[in-house]
């Protein structure tokens, strides 16, 4: 699969379900010696490659600020930043939401008419900008603990229509959530995309402390975790396990309705129900 058809995605770092499946099929194709099987495998790879490209290409055009952020994200020397201490973790460009998911977030923000939005985990700001572009969004609070990344986002949104809507709280997300609770803040829409091991803690804190408006919406990234959340294999990563538990935890919570959508690596759409719903 060429890097062109995968857009900005790095072929050595499969992230979406299509990329994961294509990588598995390519492994089988390399091992295969039978020409007839090779032909069929090529058809499967073309099918899944075509889907990945189609999803990206069929999304409406991204705005200049979104394109700038993604282009720069894929150019930055993240390994060098980590090795020289500019960042505390070794970031990968694939951590950013791509065009397809970005467009999904943008439309979700618009159709929920969310005025106050909270994002946990901002990286280079692609999802933050997508959410803040909605005409209804008045304020988007980003929780991010890497100052270098906050500066990266600020310098890219400077002078754009979202500049004055996006606010940052630099620090450990759980501590920032505690501050937001003390300030009595309530949000219409929350997007969670930070450390997976804390997803349940973030979710519980938000739901138990009134940070989500009645009838508000939560969106959670990576809830399919490369297909591991439904895998029957014993070989599941720690993130695969916690996301499996997270999905089940939400499914059993009577305060919400949940659907897991196969957008990129899985996005859960969770609606807080009113007693009358």
Interacting residue ranges for ligand SAM, rule: CB under 6 A: 95-97, 121-124, 126-127, 143-146, 149, 172-173, 193-195
Instruction: Name which of 29 and 172 has its Cβ closer to ligand SAM.
Output: 172
Question: Helix, strand or coil for residue 259?
Answer: strand
Instruction: Name which of 25 and 134 has its Cβ closer to ligand SAM.
Output: 134
Instruction: Name which of 188 and 195 has its Cβ closer to ligand SAM.
Output: 195
CB of 151 to ligand SAM, least distance (A): 13
Contact 87, 148 (CB under 8 A): yes
Contact 206, 190 (CB under 8 A): yes
Looking at the DSSP bridge assignments, the partners of residue 259 are 269
CA dihedral 107, 193, 270, 167 (to 10 degrees): -60
Supply the angle between the helices 17-31 and 35-58 in degrees, to the nearest 10.
160
CB of 132 to ligand SAM, least distance (A): 12
- For residue 244, how far is the Cα from the chain centroid? 16
Instruction: Name which of 47 and 148 has its Cβ closer to ligand SAM.
Output: 148
Instruction: Name which of 49 and 195 has its Cβ closer to ligand SAM.
Output: 195
Q: Which residue is nearest to ligand SAM (CB)?
A: 121
For residue 88, report the phi and psi dihedrals to the nearest 5 degrees. -90, -10
Instruction: Name which of 25 and 73 has its Cβ closer to ligand SAM.
Output: 73
Q: Which two tokens stand for residue 165?
A: 């809507």
Contact 81, 91 (CB under 8 A): yes
CB of 235 to ligand SAM, least distance (A): 23
CB of 74 to ligand SAM, least distance (A): 12
CB of 144 to ligand SAM, least distance (A): 5
CB of 118 to ligand SAM, least distance (A): 12
Residue 190 CB-density burial (10 A; 0-12 exposed, 13-18 middle, 19+ buried): buried
CB of 94 to ligand SAM, least distance (A): 9
DSSP symbols for 96-141 = S--HHHHHHHHHHHHHHT-SEEEEE--TTSHHHHHHHTSTT--EEE
Instruction: Name which of 18 and 97 has its Cβ closer to ligand SAM.
Output: 97
């Amino acid at each position: 699969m060429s890097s062109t058809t995968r857009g900005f995605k790095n072929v050595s770092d499969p992230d979406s379900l299509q990329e994961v499946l294509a990588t598995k099929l390519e492994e089988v194709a390399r091992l295969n010696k039978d020409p007839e099987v090779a032909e069929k495998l090529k058809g499967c790879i073309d099918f899944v490659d075509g889907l990945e490209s189609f999803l990206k290409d069929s999304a409406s055009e991204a705005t200049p600020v979104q394109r700038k952020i993604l282009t720069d994200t894929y150019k930055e020397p993240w390994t060098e930043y980590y090795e020289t201490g500019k960042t505390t973790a070794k970031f990968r460009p694939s951590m950013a939401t791509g065009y397809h998911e970005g467009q999904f977030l943008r439309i979700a923000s618009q159709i929920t008419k969310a005025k106050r939005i909270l994002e946990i985990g901002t990286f280079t700001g692609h999802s933050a900008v997508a959410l803040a572009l909605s005409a209804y969004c008045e304020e988007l609070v980003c929780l991010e603990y890497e100052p270098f990344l906050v500066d990266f986002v600020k310098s890219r949104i400077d002078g754009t229509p979202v500049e004055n809507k996006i606010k940052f709280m630099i620090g450990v997300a759980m501590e920032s959530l505690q501050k937001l609770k003390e300030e009595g803040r309530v949000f219409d829409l929350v997007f969670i995309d930070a450390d997976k091991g804390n997803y349940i803690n973030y979710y519980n804190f938000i739901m138990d402390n009134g940070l989500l408006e009645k009838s508000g919406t939560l969106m959670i990234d990576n809830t399919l975790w490369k297909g591991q959340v439904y895998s029957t294999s014993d070989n599941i990563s720690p993130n695969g396990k916690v996301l499996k538990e997270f999905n089940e935890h939400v499914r059993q919570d009577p305060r919400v309705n949940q659907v897991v959508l196969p957008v990129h690596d899985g996005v859960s759409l969770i609606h807080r129900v009113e007693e009358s719903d």
